[in-house]
Amino acid sequence: MSRRGAGEGHIYQRKDGLWEASLSLGSTGGRRKRKSVYGKTRREVQTKLDAIRRDLSAGIAPTGDHLTVERYYEGWIEAVKPRLAPRTHARYGDLMRLHVMPTLGRIPLAKLQPADVERLLAQKLAPPKPPQRGRALHPTTVGHVRTVIRRMLADAQRQGLVGRNVGALAQRPKVPQHQVEALEPETARLILEAVRDDRLGTLYTVALGTGLRLGEVQGLRWPDIDIDSGRLHVRQTVGRVSGKMTHGEPKTDKSRRTVQLPAFAIVALREQRRRQAEERLRAGPMWSKDPAWAGLVFTTPIGTPPDPVGVTRRLQAILRDAGLPKMRFHDLRHGFATLMLANGVDLATIANALGHTSIVLVGNLYGHVIERTKADAAARLDQLLTGS
CB crowding 272-289: b at 16 or more within 10 Å, else e? beeebeebbeeeeeebbe
Report how far residue 191's alpha carbon sits from residue 208's, in angstroms, rounded to the nearest whole number: 9
pTM above 0.85, yes or no: no
Torsion angle of the four alpha carbons 329, 334, 338, 341, in this order, in degrees rounded to the nearest 10: 130
Q: What is the pLDDT along the chain (388 residues), one digit of tens a residue?
A: 444 433 346 788 988 888 988 877 665 556 666 778 888 899 988 888 887 777 666 555 555 556 899 999 999 999 999 888 888 899 999 999 999 999 999 999 988 999 999 999 999 998 877 766 667 888 889 999 999 999 999 998 888 788 889 999 998 877 666 667 888 999 999 999 999 999 999 999 999 999 999 999 999 999 999 999 999 999 999 998 888 999 988 878 888 999 999 999 999 999 999 999 999 999 999 999 999 999 999 999 999 999 999 999 999 999 999 999 999 999 999 999 989 888 888 888 888 899 987 777 677 667 667 666 655 655 555 565 676 5
φ and ψ at residue 377, rounded to 5 degrees: -65, -40
User: At 240, which helix (H) or strand (E)?
Assistant: strand 237-241
Supply angle C-alpha 239, 242, 248, rounded to 5.
Answer: 35
Residues in the chain, total: 388
Report how far residue 364's alpha carbon sits from residue 347's, in angstroms, rounded to the nearest whole number: 11
